[in-house]
């Protein structure tokens, strides 16, 4: 395949999604710059590896030199103490956006999360422009990065796509994932579309597979240029609880929305 995506920087390249993106986009880019705190090894002539911490703004600016696109996947991926989430997710994303502004990057793709709306009820289809209702401290940190992205789009004309990532797994293995599953194939499809969509100022879109039971509207993602193809229902026969009755008023975040999920990260008494 002829490289068509220019120079793409991927932060969090050692992570689960970063690893898949690296494998699937490697032959479509002119240069692939892989950024992570963890050590990585170059696997193709198109790749360059940079080990850094996103809290170091000068290092991030240097890493983005010559970049056409930044795909920002780095950060704490689940509930944690707020100070840790602010440092890794919010400050790290601020540095990514600021470095992209300084280096005149054409497009930034940010990994947000479905958990920014985890307290909406299961019985409701949620649109990206509906009010945020985070289901925990992690969701709050993702609300903050979306706000930073909107600021940089409005104030500095930086082109940003925020993808609210679903439950990224090879296949759904619990009942909630029948609604929230994001397959590796669809994940890469959404990211590729977010990279290449023309005339984007700021877009927030849910990135979730074409699940029959999904909670989220896909129009914004489809308008970026990708329609998901996988459906968690194809795996329902192998998922425990798939036929259980569902309370339509229960939060979409499931266990993530419970007090017990966040309390250990708020007060040591609950650890």
206 catalytic? Reply is no
Residue 174, sorted as left (phi over 0), alpha (psi -120 to 50) or beta, turns out to be: beta
The alpha carbon of 230 is separated from its chain's Cα centroid by a whole number of angstroms, namely 18
What lies within 8 Å, CB to CB, of 182 at 6+ separation is 165, 166, 167, 168, 169, 190, 207, 208, 209
Reported residue count of the chain is 271
> Of 64, 162, 168, 55, which Cα lies nearest the Cα of 116?
162
Which residue of the set 138, 177, 206, 256 is catalytic?
A: 138
State the virtual CA torsion across 227, 232, 233, 238 in degrees, nearest 10: 160
Return the number of other C-beta atoms located less than 10 Å from residue 150's C-beta.
15
Q: Find out whether 34 and 67 touch, Cβ atoms under 8 Å.
A: no
Catalytic amino acids?
138
């Amino acid at each position: 395949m002829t490289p068509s995506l220019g120079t793409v920087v991927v932060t969090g390249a050692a992570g689960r999604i970063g690893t898949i993106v690296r494998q699937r986009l490697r032959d479509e880019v002119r240069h692939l710059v892989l950024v992570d705190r963890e050590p990585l090894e170059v696997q193709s002539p198109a790749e360059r590896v940079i080990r850094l911490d996103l809290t170091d703004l000068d290092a991030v600016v240097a890493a983005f030199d010559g970049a056409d696109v930044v795909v920002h996947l780095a950060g704490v991926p689940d509930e944690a103490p707020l100070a840790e989430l602010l440092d890794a997710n919010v400050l790290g994303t601020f540095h990514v956006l600021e470095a992209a502004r300084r280096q005149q990057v054409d497009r930034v793709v940010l990994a947000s999360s479905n958990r920014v709306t985890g307290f909406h009820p299961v019985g409701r289809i949620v649109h990206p422009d509906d009010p945020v209702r985070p289901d925990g401290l992690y969701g709050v940190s993702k609300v903050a990065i979306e706000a930073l992205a909107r600021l940089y789009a409005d104030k500095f004309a930086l082109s940003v796509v925020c993808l609210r990532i679903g439950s990224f797994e090879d296949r759904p293995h619990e009942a909630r994932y029948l609604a929230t599953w994001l397959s590796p194939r669809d994940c890469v499809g959404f990211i590729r579309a977010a990279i290449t969509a023309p005339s984007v100022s700021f877009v927030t879109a849910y990135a979730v597979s074409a699940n029959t039971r999904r909670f989220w509207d896909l129009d914004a993602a489809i308008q970026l240029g990708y329609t998901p193809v996988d459906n968690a229902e194809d795996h329902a026969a192998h998922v425990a609880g798939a036929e259980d009755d569902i309370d339509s008023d229960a939060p979409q975040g499931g266990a993530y929305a419970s007090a017990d999920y966040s309390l250990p990260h708020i007060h040591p008494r609950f650890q």
